[in-house]
Structure 1
Amino acid sequence: MDETVRWVKEHPGMTGILALYALFFLILYSDPATGDALLVNPETMFQEPWTLITVIFATGSVMHLLLNGFLVIMFGGKLEKTIGTGTSVVLFLIMGLMGSVALFLYAPFMTWTGEPAALASVAAIGMASIYTGLVKDAEIMGSKARRWVLIMFIMNIVLSWQNEELTLLGPAHGLAIALGYGIGYGLRKSTEAKEHTGS
């Protein structure tokens, strides 16, 4: 319990994200009509601009909730400690917004059923990739962080191929992995350049 309390105090940004995950999950499954208003629909997202933000915290199932929570705790917590609460939360939101805009651009060319989508995993995956690119040789649970990201990339391809519902989200996940790593790598190189100049 003490470890949990300390983690919460040290990671206010990630704690807030986890709390919103839980709140939106309860809304989605206790009041489906209200829950649908939190999800993003590529055809109406700009008529319902709030969904560009709310969908970032909307999880589609218990497994979805647990996986995203794992990424926020294990990667997001380390990212927050590394670059600060404000910056880490802003980057999380940027990755989520990127997912919504990407979905808007490519959904018409795919077998989209017209149902609104939950995109919480895009922001969580993107944040994990940012940390991986930012911290060279970072480890998560005793394994290189980049291996976790590689596994996520492979799983995204496999699941998108096997599951029609996930096919629509596959490109957004892949973009989050690539763009997130690029952002993290860019931040690392920028920091290294500043340190070199300062020395």
Structure 2
Amino acid sequence: MSKECDYCGFRDPMPFTCKFCGNPYCYNHRLPESHNCSGLALFKERIHDSGGLYNYKPDQMVKKHKKPVFKPLGNAISTIRSSYSLTILIIAIISFFLSMVIPGYFFYLALYPLDIVSRPWTLVTSIFLHAGTMHLLFNMMILFFFGPELERRIGGKRFLAVFFLSGIIAAIGYSLWSIFIVGSSVPAIGASGAILGIFACLAVIAPHIQVSLFFGPPVRITYVLILLVLIDLIFGLLFGLTDPIARSAHLSGVVAGVVMGKQIKKMGQYIDY
């Protein structure tokens, strides 16, 4: 079946489909380098983020009889380079235990809405604090299952941008809601806003992904996102000011994730598969 070349417009009876960007090309522009493939650049970025190598060197060979050497620092650095999602998860767990043994740790890193100007670092540090084991477990479970998936699709640097910007916007949204609507300065902690931003961004970029809820039949990730938003809205209206959960932070994180997801998709800065 003939198709128009996405680069020159020539209708080729036997078109080639680029494995990096998925677009059809004629014989002359079939190679990624011949049509300025945006997917190839993103693929290289992913390989770089994962610590992969393009150039083979003979002196990098490891003899079969040579025993492997355990290098804790080297292994840790390799893990950090290969998965930002896993690194964030590890930092959050370490921070949780530190908050239980270091006096003043929680107070110094938690977000207090009225002190947001004098303590701007808490916009980020509060993301790595959690109120209890279940709070930590729930957030890290979502990050573990959906963080690497988004990271593979958009690359490590964009993943970090989505995570931290969603978390910061969630913190600002909560602070504005607390000060101007609720009239309180209850501290906020947790990565929920950032993680819901990750989830929302993934739902925009890959809406066809199927998610199983509570061992039920799989449904599209977009439906799950809508359900989570409805839960926050309904419970926020039902419990109002007595609700202990920062619904405004959740919703702010979702909005941030959706906006960034749309921008990434518009610019074609992702890999679809």
Say which SS state the counterpart of residue 43 (structure 1) adopts: helix
1:197 aligned partner = none
Could you say which residue in structure 2 is the equivalent of 1:164? Answer: 243
- The CA distance in 2 between the partners of 1:45 and 1:66, in whole Å, is 27
Q: Give the 4+ runs in structure 1 shifted more than 6 A.
A: none
Q: Does 1:93 align with 2:164?
A: yes
Which deviates the most, 90-99 or 183-192?
Answer: 183-192
Q: Choose which of 124, 129, 134 in structure 2 pairs with 1:63.
A: 134
**Whose helix fraction is larger, Structure 1's or Structure 2's?**
1
Corresponding residue SS for 1:143:
strand
Q: CA RMSD for the aligned pairs? A: 2.2
Tell me, in whole angstroms, the C-alpha distance in 2 between the residues paired with 1:101 and 1:41. 11
Residue in 1 aligned with 2:106? 35
1:82 Cα deviation after fit: 0.6
Structure 1 position 44, deviation (Å): 1.0
- Whether the aligned pair in 2 keeps the contact of 1:64 and 1:121 (CA below 8 Å) is no
Aligned CA distance change for structure 1 residues 69 and 164 (closer, same or farther; 3 Å): same
TM-score of the superposition, structure 2-length normalised? 0.61
Q: What is the distance in 2 between the residues matched to 1:140 and 1:132?
A: 11
TM-score by length of 1: 0.81
1:182 paired residue number: 259
User: Contact 1:132/1:146 (CA < 8 Å) preserved in 2?
Assistant: yes
Contact 2:178 2:185 in 1 (8 A): no
Report 1:23-172 matches (<5 A). Answer: 23-31=94-102, 33-111=104-182, 113-141=184-212, 142-160=218-236, 161-162=238-239, 163-166=242-245, 169-172=246-249
- How many residues end up aligned between the 2 structures? 183
- Offset of residue 18 of structure 1: 0.3
Provide the residue aligned with 2:62 in structure 1. Answer: none
> Is the 8 Å Cα contact of residues 200 and 254 (structure 2) preserved in structure 1?
yes
Amino acid at match of 1:42: P
Q: Post-superposition shift, 1:88? A: 0.3
Post-superposition CA distance 1:98-156 (Å, at most 9, x none): 11222232211233543321141000111110011011312234431112212211221
Distance change (3 Å), C-alpha of 1:121 and 1:36: same
Secondary structure, in 3 states, of the residue corresponding to 2:110? coil
Contact 2:201 2:260 (8 Å CA) reproduced: yes
Q: Deviations over 1:46-84 (max 9, x none)?
A: 211221110122222222211211221122110001111
Structure with the larger RCO, 1 or 2 (CA within 8 Å, 6+ apart):
1
For the residue of structure 2 that corresponds to 1:37, the secondary structure is helix
Match for residue 65 of structure 2? none
Where does the alignment leave 5 or more consecutive residues of structure 1 unmatched?
1-7, 193-199
1:99 and 1:119 in contact (8 A); partners too: no
Letter matched to residue 34 of structure 1: Y
Amino acid of the residue matched to residue 164 of structure 1?
D
Q: Which has the greater radius of gyration? A: 2
Contact 1:11 1:81 survives alignment (8 Å): no
Change in 2 beyond 3 A, CA 1:15/1:45: same
